[in-house]
Structure 1
């Protein structure tokens, strides 16, 4: 988890520099609070973002992304997150046939208690394979 925070800090610093801002807590605090409609952040709070000690909540992340003109998922995750999502979706399209998709649709229509039974069965079967 700490690595995730460090990577976020690096992406935040890079995004600030790309927009011409010095990645200093005082600058981040000022610019963020000018744009955020919620509770203002403190100098200590944004310092923790820049040092990789914490990450902002989703509403704050959206404010940062809008201000820095980067997609929020790119700021929160890795730069190639959209590519990873597209690859996962392509695999789903390629590896899962229409019969399997019908099974998934039927599974999604089940009540939660039945879904649990099916999940447990799949897990048990996959561990024996």
Structure 2
């Protein structure tokens, strides 16, 4: 089982739990087929998704994500990748995709400082960055 498939199955199961769906292939098969416009999927196919043996095609992933009330990108690749994609789509700086909550809070606090204190903080950060490169 590849990491990618295993991680997908973990996200799939977590999403099912999050909406209160019983984590059984038969339950997901029934719900999925009730919402899918194409050819029905088999119990075995759903079982392979849930057990990390395969990943559904994009059309099925779209339906699964809607059923599980989440973004398709987050279901397929994880929330971190989905956040990076959203940031990229908005044209925001790339560093923002790797910044955690504390980093973003620090930047917001920095931006709220008066200009003289921002200058001082900037100089400190630049100095620390230069000394860490040595």
Report if TM-score (shorter chain) is over 0.5.
yes
Aligned residues: 92
Equivalent position of 2:127 in the other structure: none
| Counterpart secondary structure, 2:20 | coil
- TM-score normalized by the length of structure 1: 0.66
Q: How does 1:18-33 map to 2 (within 5 A)?
A: 18-33=18-33
Question: Which contiguous aligned blocks of 4+ residues in structure 1 show a shift greater than 2 angstroms?
Answer: 82-89
CA distances 1:47-76 after superposition (whole Å, capped 9, x unpaired): 000000000000000000111110000000
In the alignment, the residues of structure 2 paired with residue 58 and residue 76 of structure 1 have an alpha-carbon distance, to the nearest angstrom, of 9
1:43-122 equivalence runs, <5 A: 43-85=43-85, 86=87, 90-91=93-94
**How far did 1:46 drift?**
0.3
Please give the alpha-carbon distance, in whole angstroms, between the structure 1 residues aligned to 2:94 and 2:67.
34
Which residue does 1:38 correspond to in 2?
Answer: 38
Alignment partners' CA distance in 1, 2:82 and 2:47:
28
The CA deviation string for residues 86-119 of structure 1, in whole angstroms up to 9 with x for no partner, is 2795149xxxxxxxxxxxxxxxxxxxxxxxxxxx
SS in 2 for 1:9: helix
Give the TM-score of the pair, scaled to structure 2: 0.63
Consecutive unaligned residues of structure 2, counting only runs of 5 or more, are 96-134
1:11 Cα deviation after fit:
0.4
